[in-house]
Amino acid sequence: MKLSLIKKPVSVIMATVLFLSLMTGLFNFRPQTAHASTTEQTRFLQLYAQLKDPANGYFSAEGVPYHAVETLMSEAPDYGHMTTSEAYSYWMWLEVLYGYHTGDWTKLESAWDNMEKYIIPINEGDGKEEQPTMSYYNPNSPATYAAEHAQPDQYPSQLGGQYTAGKDPLDAELKATYGNNQTYLMHWLVDVDNWYGFGNLLNPTHTAAYVNTFQRGEQESVWEAVPHPSQDDKTFGKANEGFMSLFTKEANVPSAQWRYTNATDADARAVQAMYWAKELGYNNTVYLNKAKKMGDFLRYGMYDKYFQKVGSAATDGTPDAGTGKDSNQYLLAWYTAWGGGLGATGNWAWRIGASHAHQGYQNVVAAYALSDSDGGLIPSSATAGQDWENSLKRQLEFYTWLQSSEGAIAGGATNSYQGAYKAYPAGTSTFYGMAYDEAPVYHDPPSNNWFGMQAWSVERVAELYYILASNGDTTSENFQMAKQVIENWVDWSKDYAFANKRPVTDAEGYYLNSQGNRILGGANPQVATVSAPGEFWIPGNVEWTGQPNTWNGFSGSAANSNLKAVTKSPSQDTGVLGSYIKALTFYAAGTKAEHGSYSTLGGEAQVLAKSLLDTAWGYNDGIGIATTESRADYSRYFTKEVYFPSGWTGTFGQGNTIPGTSTVPSDPAKGGNGVYASYTDIRPNIVNDSKWQYLLDKYNTSFNKVTKTWDNGAPEFTYHRFWSQVDMATAYAEYDRLINSSVPTEPVAPKAPSKPSAVAGNQVVDLSWNNVTGATSYTVKRAATTGGPYSDVAVVTQATYSDTSVVNGTDYYYVVSASNVVGESPNSPEVHAKPMDVPIPAQGDLVVKYRTSDTNPGDNQFRPQLQIVNNGDTAVALSDVKLRYYYTIDGDKPQQFNVDYANIGGSNIQGTFVKVDPAKTGADYYLEISFGAGAGSLAPGANTGDIQIRVNKTDWSNYNEVGDYSYDPTKTSYTEWNHVPLYLNGALAWGLEP
């Protein structure tokens, strides 16, 4: 609901006072732009001041950001003065843009310090161990399986050995990198003021305490959850059991334990913020390295819950335990969790991932930052960069797979159907072996109905589109996918977004056209509107029918004609508005970076973003930008629906016994035998809230208990959520940076060229690099030794150059700088090349095809998969054929040759290890593969079928396959590969030796 005109001038006066205080030096304002302050920059700084004003109440005494200023609320956190990892990640983003606009980066560092202190459960230097037994974790047995269930009433879930967990492939690598395996991720939920009363057991000097809620399946809503401490020594909960026996059932009494859960989207957003900090001028490696470390551990969010092989349960409902990266989904799943024992017998620990991936949690900017040299945040662990590179592509494929015919993005996919690895129903669409899931993780309400999941997630795709276009990458498959997704999404969403107009809908929230008919999807809907000066409206919900096509790769993908989205329920959600405006802004700026000027759709996006920003400012009430919300769901404060098993009774942190005496019997149809309590039965202190009497009176006078409707109107609340205010503040800041900064200003020297490449040929080195915005020429420089000194070779206007003044067999080192009328950039990173008379690969009738599922180049095995194809017209005896696979041994030890599978029979294949002396680039050994007489002959047009090889050292020490001559982790489907040469009767018949 729009603020009244009476309140509007008050908001302007209050904001002006706050802004003047900021400008007089309180925040050390030092604009870095050449043009005068714009409206958007001014409003960003005003909102920043409102957020930081202690009188407005956004932060606790310990400096922790509250979820909201107000307290009586129930959503993901069920009390306003809790906080989430989401809130912290938004705080990082706020301080990044404040640092950019003012030059003051100290507040970003203070925010990270606070995050590390209060929501990353590590010993941050205060001597308090908050993961005290993680060192006992056994990566070969990460956790004990317990099925997920459809209803909370079906819990506790039996802990048992129905499925053995797979192996954790990251633990050893992380311990080798950081000295321990204490997880550097945020726990998702903190009771900031200890309102629940559980306290912080492992760090009692902190008021803020780690807590958790949702633990009982996809149907457990915010109204059905039982809050409990994350450090459970059984002081609270059921006597001698604590809270654990509400969730899992085991043969013995539950042990005292600590346990934390990470929300992957929040940590990814923190990394995303640090990427932009680096791009916008921040260079303190201490904190950038912390972001890298967070990204390193965040990879656990890519793994199946119990490290089961992806797709292995699809047909028969029996998963296969993973042995390496085969349990990696390369998507950001809903969470990862870890824990361990407390007390004298607490010498154990566990870890799980999650099997369900939601489109709303993906973050392609974080994946780019953590995998690309230009992203600048590649973690230190051996395989982290490759994992995130795989994830970047997989996430973009995920969006492309899930995009409806309208342009909206559907829910996601699961590797554990119905949470119990059940076989997929016939006809289920799949994505890399995972089953399509319309609403992953939770169903009350469905997790992909809220438009915020669209705006949050696709805004990051818009950012990546802008980043790649700005870097000159406009042809790669990743760019093509990002562009297609954001273009289709903007084209869809803008038809349902309005400034200064109100869309016409019916009583059920369906948009209507000028004829009064419901709009049920389709392209280019014509929504009827009425004039409404000063109002904004964006979509509220999306309903889904159908499913996407099974995914077969981007090149073979087609529009999802059977996947439909119906857009409904126009909303004035200010937080979602902020993300939506940023999506429009980054998309518009991306079209200009790609084409030199806004595309038609990009121009429309820019105009809509500006209009929405201007109307939103009218809702600033001096505390922030907020609208009045009608909360029909608040009748559930009074509904008995929190399930407790029969006989379970315990103590809550507020001093009450739960479930209490005013319970009702549970519904047998939901699968349980117990009772239901209400929200207030569990948390009695809620009735002391200043807004409780208003809610109670409204319930008693308006709610019809028969029809379940609010006859005299639902209760209304105005909330100032921290994340929502930051979303709006950063929308103003990003519009100023990306759109206003395109207004002519004083020119500056260009940035250094990025991604230089040098490819050696016969008496030539071909150089290329990314285009640099604002550059008019590039200087190519060359040296005979690494690090220079460099001599100028050429000045060119394009981002390519062929150096023909070179001598074969000589090493050359190149850098490139960019110039314009202002000056010259620093040099690019150095690249190296040695031109030579390149040998031509042998060509014959026999061809070797190669693929690998081994995307971990740093483990203790390598696993090439090979096929031999006969393209000739005569049969060839395989006993006359040999193959050579070249690699580096990385520590000369005895080795073992294994055939995991072969169509022609593993007993017919032999392997011999041969040392290459002198060593060659990428090879100091080769594996020679030969065939016995039992392998038979290869007929014309035939192939051998799969030959799956595995090699290890006898001491099981690790290889490092990076740079190995015959290894290529990008070849995950069979491809001709001349780096595995083939010999016929002892002569090279196909391929190329190193």
396: left (phi over 0), alpha (psi -120 to 50) or beta: alpha
The answer to whether 982 and 871 are in contact (CB under 8 A) is no
The answer to whether 926 and 949 are in contact (CB under 8 A) is no
**Known catalytic residue at 86:** yes
Check the CA dihedral 81-87-90-91 and report its sign.
Answer: positive
The answer to whether 486 and 461 are in contact (CB under 8 A) is yes
Spatial CA neighbour of 797 closest among 781, 778, 780:
778
ω into 789 cis (within 30 of 0) = yes
Helix (H/G/I), strand (E/B), else coil: 438 = coil
Q: Which neighbouring-strand residues pair with 246?
A: none
What gap in Å lies between CA 302 and CA 329, rounded to an integer?
5
337 backbone dihedrals φ, ψ, rounded to 5°: -140, 155
> Other C-beta atoms within 10 Å of 249: how many?
16
What gap in Å lies between CA 220 and CA 2, rounded to an integer?
33
ω into 152 cis (within 30 of 0) = no
DSSP 577: H
What gap in Å lies between CA 511 and CA 527, rounded to an integer?
6
Spatial CA neighbour of 228 closest among 261, 264, 206, 204:
261
ω into 156 cis (within 30 of 0) = yes
The answer to whether 611 and 491 are in contact (CB under 8 A) is no
The answer to whether 888 and 858 are in contact (CB under 8 A) is no
Catalytic residue among 78, 86, 95, 727: 86
What gap in Å lies between CA 1 and CA 644, rounded to an integer?
39
Is residue 233 classed exposed, middle or buried when 0-12, 13-18 and 19+ CB atoms within 10 A define those classes? middle
Beta strand pairing call for 674-678 and 640-645: antiparallel
- The helix (H) or strand (E) run that includes residue 351 is strand 349-352
Beta-carbon-side half-sphere exposure of residue 822 (alpha carbons within 13 Å): 11
Is residue 468 classed exposed, middle or buried when 0-12, 13-18 and 19+ CB atoms within 10 A define those classes? buried
Q: Which neighbouring-strand residues pair with 357?
A: 333, 413
Catalytic residue among 130, 168, 265, 463: 265
- Torsion angle of the four alpha carbons 564, 567, 573, 579, in this order, in degrees rounded to the nearest 10: 40
What gap in Å lies between CA 823 and CA 749, rounded to an integer?
5
Q: Which two tokens stand for residue 608?
A: 């809509």
Taken as a whole, the chain contains a residue count of 994
Q: Which two tokens stand for residue 815?
A: 């850098």
The answer to whether 294 and 167 are in contact (CB under 8 A) is no
> What's the start-to-end Cα distance of the chain, in Å?
70
**Known catalytic residue at 265:** yes
Beta-carbon-side half-sphere exposure of residue 732 (alpha carbons within 13 Å): 27
Q: Which two tokens stand for residue 502?
A: 């109100």
What gap in Å lies between CA 470 and CA 586, rounded to an integer?
11
Instruction: Give 591's contacts (C-beta < 8 A, 6+ positions apart).
Output: 469, 598, 599, 601, 602, 605
Spatial CA neighbour of 158 closest among 170, 166, 149:
149
Q: Which two tokens stand for residue 948?
A: 């799956």
Helix (H/G/I), strand (E/B), else coil: 894 = coil
Q: Which two tokens stand for residue 161?
A: 């050995």
> Other C-beta atoms within 10 Å of 583: how many?
28
> Among all residues, which ones are annotated catalytic?
86, 265
